[in-house]
Amino acid sequence: MHKLTHGLLFTEETLELTSGADMPCDLKLDALLPEGTTDFLRVKPTVAGLLMRRELFSRILLDRENAKMAFEKMRELLNGAKEAHESLEGAVCDKARDYIFSEFAARLADFYRCAAVERSYGELYSVFSGHFKDRCADQAFSRLCERLDVVREAKERIGVLELDIDGDKIKVSAEKQETILGKVALCLDKYGIKVQPTEQKPLIIQKSIIEANAKMHPEEFREFSEFHREFSDFFSTEIFECIPQFTLILGIMQLVERAEAANVPYCFPELSEAKAVKLYDVYDIALLLKEGTVIVPNDVYFDTSEPFFYLTGANGGGKTTYLRALGNAMTLFLFGAPVFCRAGEACLMDSVWTHFPKDERFEGSGRFADEQTRVDVILSSCLNPEERGNSLILLNETYSTTNEEKATECTSSLAYKLHRSGCFGLYITHQHGVNEARVPFLGVLVDENDKNRRTYRIERRRLSNRSFAADILVKYGITRDGLKATLLDS
């Protein structure tokens, strides 16, 4: 049995999940990318893996149409093999198992040949493709293909397994049969109407039927049995782990196209040796989920002198948008995927943690206790000796569900711990009592360069409780005297 270590997207990495479990949902990555793929973004990155994935994504985006067809084809072949394997595990007898195994092996052999095709997608893909190229050049694989030809001839002699029982024609095949629904779906597809596919169930062949056909075609079933016995250990089902990796690659390509349609740029920020993050015109791609939304970019800057900030300002000023933009940018950067910003550079980090408000109803200990539990997980994970100060932490209105005095105390304590740890991060808060804290501030300001609509920029400054309103008055040319005169006239 020959295994492919880590599939396509990973090299020597341990595949340890270090980023927070809530992160994909909080940043809306689970809505932007295909289901079952976002855990890959939580894997602790290495420099080598990050750089090779960046090379892979940059090259497939330059060869987008061909890459899309190649990955869709490989995923289709692997899905077919996986379905055959599920049927194999559900086989009712040895003869059914022998027949279905030949289908499983044929589909995986086709995948091997497709994956072995050389493509100029960089080192990571070369390692992946080289594995299958070596396997296809192996004498054992040549022997398997020769025996598959014999098995195919045996199937052709049988055709569809068919019995005539009391005048009723009964057909049994390891191939998926086209249903009436399938035919209707094909017709509707011609008119641009998509039908949600139904879940495929493993093939189950009745024992009496398959054994009756085996008696009718003993030589052919002997071929199936001998083939199964000879190659039963040839393939490893770990190869199926490539399916969600192909899906993620295709999902990221689709996300790039979606962003391009909204005039949102992407780039591959450089890996910085210094502990710093400098990203220019970063976009919150979660806003792509809302049709017609104008996405306002912002700059991001962190270094060791000021690694952690409060983020304050009025509601609706884009604080959560800024938080998501930063979180998505760094999550994609650490994975090696395209980042939706104009340019920049960033250092390697171990993980990204988020703490956003939850909407569930809490019983027993209540919402505050849940918040504290989640905070404790972040602190224990990010402040341990091995990973001290090497994470990005994004907190959105943490402790907002308790009274003002307690919230201010908890907020100040947590922010100060994280600021001292050296972790990079932002803490959105409305607690006025933190204004005198030692943690620096980012504030929401009205963008004076945008004359057509009220938009906001994030800048470093300590804001008073009234400064946001003052910014709006200045932008629209409203003075104290003018406002007083208007009120008197009314």
- Per residue in 26-50, pLDDT (tens digit) is 999 999 999 999 999 999 999 999 9
21, amino acid identity: A
Give which of 87, 84, 93 is closest to 210, Cα–Cα.
Answer: 93
This model's pTM is above 0.75 = yes
Predicted pLDDT at 93: 87
Q: What is the CB neighbour count within 10 angstroms for residue 347?
A: 20
Would you state the pLDDT for residue 469? 47
The pLDDT of residue 101 is: 94
Mean pLDDT of 467-490: 53
What residues does 161 pair with on adjacent strands? 172
Q: How far apart are CA 484 and CA 204, in angstroms?
A: 82
In angstroms, the CA 358 to CA 261 distance is: 32
Please check whether residue 371 is in contact with residue 91, taking contact to mean a CB–CB distance below 8 angstroms. Answer: no
* Among 123-137, 234-248, 278-292, 346-360, the least confident range: 346-360
The residue that leads in pLDDT, 366 or 49, is 49
Three-state SS sequence of 431-448: CHHHHHCCCCEEEEEECC
Q: What percent of the chain has pLDDT over 70?
A: 76
pLDDT of 389 above 60: yes
Six token digits for residue 365? 């200990």
The CA distance from 39 to 19, in Å, is 9
pLDDT of residue 485: 60
Do 173 and 84 touch, CB atoms closer than 8 A? no
Q: Reply yes or no on whether the pLDDT at 11 is more than 60.
A: yes
| Model confidence at 257: pLDDT above 90 | yes
Are residues 308 and 439 in contact, defined by beta-carbon separation less than 8 angstroms? Answer: yes
Q: Average the pLDDT over each of 295-304, 359-368, 384-393 and give the range with the smallest value.
A: 359-368
Q: Which two tokens stand for residue 401?
A: 């569900």
pLDDT at residue 421 is higher than 70: yes
Better-scored residue on pLDDT, 441 or 197 = 441
Question: In this predicted structure, what is the pLDDT of residue 313?
Answer: 77
Mean pLDDT score of the chain? 82
pLDDT of residue 465: 45
CB neighbour burial string for 395-433, b if at least 16 within 10 angstroms, e if fewer: bbbbbbebeeeebbebbbebbeebbebbbbbbbbbbbee
Average pLDDT, integer, range 66-80:
96
Closest to 29 (Cα-Cα) out of 242, 264, 248: 248
* Mean pLDDT in residue range 154-172: 62
pLDDT at residue 76 in the model? 96
- Of 50, 49, 43, 46, nearest to 20 by C-alpha is 43
> Which pLDDT value is given to residue 211?
79
Judge contact between 458 and 444, C-beta under 8 A.
Answer: yes
* The 3-state secondary structure of the chain, one letter per residue: CECCCCCCCCCCCCCCECCCCCHHHHCCHHHHCCCCCHHHHHECCCHHHHHHHHHHHHHHHHCHHHHHHHHHHHHHHHHHHHHHHHHHHCCCCHHHHHHHHHHHHHHHHHHHHHHCCCCCCCHHHHHHHHHHHHHHHCHHHHHHHHHHHHHHHHHHHHCCEEEEECCEEEEECCCCCCCHHHHHHHHHHHCCCCCCCCCCCCCCCCHHHHHHHHHHCHHHHHHHHHHHHHHCCCECHHHHHHHHHHHHHHHHHHHHHHHHHCCCCCECCEECCCCEEEEEEECCHHHHHCCCCCCCCEEEEEECCCCEEEEECCCCCCHHHHHHHHHHHHHHHHHCCCECCCEEEECCCCEEEEECCCCCCCCCCHHHHHHHHHHHHHHHHHCCCCCCCCEEEEEECCCCCCCHHHHHHHHHHHHHHHHHHCCEEEEECCCHHHHHCCCCEEEEEECCCCCCCCCEEEEECCCCCCHHHHHHHHHCCCCHHHHHHHHHHC
The fraction of the chain above a pLDDT of 90, given in percent, is: 51
**Is the confidence at residue 109, as pLDDT, over 90?**
yes
Domains and CATH numbers, the chain: 23-248 (no CATH), 265-489 (3.40.50.300)
